[in-house]
Amino acid sequence: MDINESIKSQLQENPIILYMKGTPQAPQCGFSAKTVQALMGCGERFAYVNILDNQELREALKVYSNWPTYPQLYINGELVGGCDIVLEMSESGELSEMVKAASASQEEAGN
């Protein structure tokens, strides 16, 4: 599978997915740690990909998203943004609304 097809597949299969450095239990950078905390505060499950494990994915995703930095949060296949945007959305309550809606739509689809 081509790397772009792999990215598209991950985005289709996971309504909430975070491309980050490390894992939610052991983030490898402060920005990823803050983003994970904001997401966990929403109380819904989310998928993640440790981009440090895959150099090809790390470079391809920057091109795919046209976003040069990590972490990158996607909800329903759309790039939400990186750490600063996620934290702003968390403070305003918008992140929780988006995450809960994406999670609810996944449950309705029977996934």
Annotated binding site: 29
Write out the binding residues for [2Fe-2S] cluster: 29
Which ranges in 1-111 belong to alpha helices (H)? 3-13, 30-40, 55-65, 83-92, 94-108
Q: Which residues pair with 79 in a beta bridge?
A: 74
| Backbone phi, psi, residue 91, to 5° | -65, -35
Q: Which helix (H) or strand (E) holds 27?
A: none
